């Protein structure tokens, strides 16, 4: 069973701080990972994807992939109240396999 | 470029009925995947279609089926509805390469009474 696991939270972070979201995966077979953001009552929105070991930055978001340790993380710098949402990590094992999501709340 | 569209957005059915949901992918995308999302189970993969062929299938009973047309539009059908089928059904489209990013539609909220 190929799995992607996330801490369901909730995770509370003060406004302006760095939010760190983590995800582990069970099978080294996956080569690509995706982070989605989902607001309550809305569909998931793609934020970042990463294929290679190391960091990938896009604005306030940085995705990190460590294949040796089988974890993926998402850092959100200068957190804003609008970042409050559930963040879903997904790995590609033929099909896209999602974690259960981490609920993030940014406290003003 | 228009996003993924799904119809209908909301649906109420009773147990035993069947339902058909529709998904139109982003123009140029050839792959469509379907997911079921519930508070208890999270986002569960149903199936993926690429160029009218089912490429992957999740662990759902045979009551759940789908198809894709030559214009890449896709439909999914659920027969003999059960109360537990109440969920948000999401469709996502991608270009079709194995590592392509998937983009989600707004979903269809199905309620089974």
Q: Min CA distance, A21 vs chain B (Å)?
A: 17
- Average pLDDT of the residues in A50-61: 94
CA pair distance B67, B47, nearest whole angstrom: 10
Cβ pair B104:A43 closer than 8 A: yes
**Chain A contacts of B42, Cβ < 8 Å?**
98-101
Per-residue pLDDT reduced to its tens digit, A31-49? 799 999 999 999 999 999 9
CA–CA separation, B5 vs A93, rounded Å?
A: 25
End-to-end CA, chain B? 37
8 A C-beta contact, residue B52 and residue B31 = no
A96, A100, A102, A103: which to substitute to probe chain B, counting the most B Cβ within 10 Å?
A96
Phi and psi angles of residue A81, each rounded to the nearest 5 degrees, phi first: -55, -30
CB contact under 8 A, B107 and A97: no
| Rounded Cα distance, A44 and B46, in Å | 16
In this prediction, residue B111 carries a pLDDT of: 98
Q: What percentage of chain B reaches a pLDDT higher than 70?
A: 99
**Nearest residue of A to residue B4 by CA position?**
A43
- Return the CA Rg of chain B: 13
Question: What confidence tens digit (pLDDT) does each residue in A93-102 have?
Answer: 778 899 999 9
- List beta partners, residue A30: none
What confidence category does residue B2 fall into, taking pLDDT thresholds of 50, 70 and 90?
confident
CA–CA distance, B52 with B30 (Å, rounded to integer): 9
What is the greatest pairwise CA distance in chain B?
39
Q: Is the pLDDT of residue A69 over 80?
A: yes
Q: Residue A72 pLDDT > 70, yes or no?
A: yes
Interface of B with A in 54-83 (CB under 8 A): 55-56, 58
> Quick one: pLDDT at residue A1?
62
pLDDT at A29: 76
Is A18 within 8 Å of A79 (Cβ atoms)? yes
Instruction: Check pLDDT > 80 for residue A2.
Output: no
């Amino acid at each position: 069973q190929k799995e992607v696991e996330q801490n369901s939270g909730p995770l509370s972070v003060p406004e302006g701080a760095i939010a760190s979201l983590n995800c582990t995966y069970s099978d080294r077979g996956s080569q690509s990972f995706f982070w989605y953001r989902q607001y309550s009552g809305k569909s998931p929105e793609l934020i970042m994807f990463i294929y290679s070991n190391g960091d990938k930055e896009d604005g306030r978001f940085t995705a990190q992939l460590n294949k040796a340790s089988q974890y993926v993380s998402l850092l959100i710098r200068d957190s804003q109240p609008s970042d409050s949402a559930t963040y879903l990590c997904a790995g590609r094992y033929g099909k896209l396999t999602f974690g259960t999501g981490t609920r993030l709340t940014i406290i003003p | 470029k228009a996003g993924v569209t799904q119809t209908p957005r909301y649906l109420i059915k009773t147990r035993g009925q069947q339902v058909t949901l529709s998904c139109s992918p982003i123009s140029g995308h050839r792959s469509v995947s379907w997911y079921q999302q519930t508070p208890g189970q999270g986002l569960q993969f149903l199936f993926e279609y690429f160029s009218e062929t089912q490429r992957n299938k999740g662990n759902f009973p045979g009551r759940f089926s789908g198809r894709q047309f030559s214009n890449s539009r896709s439909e999914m059908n659920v027969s003999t509805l059960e109360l537990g089928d109440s969920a948000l059904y999401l469709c996502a489209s991608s270009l079709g390469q194995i590592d392509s990013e998937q983009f989600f539609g707004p979903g269809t909220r199905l309620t089974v009474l």
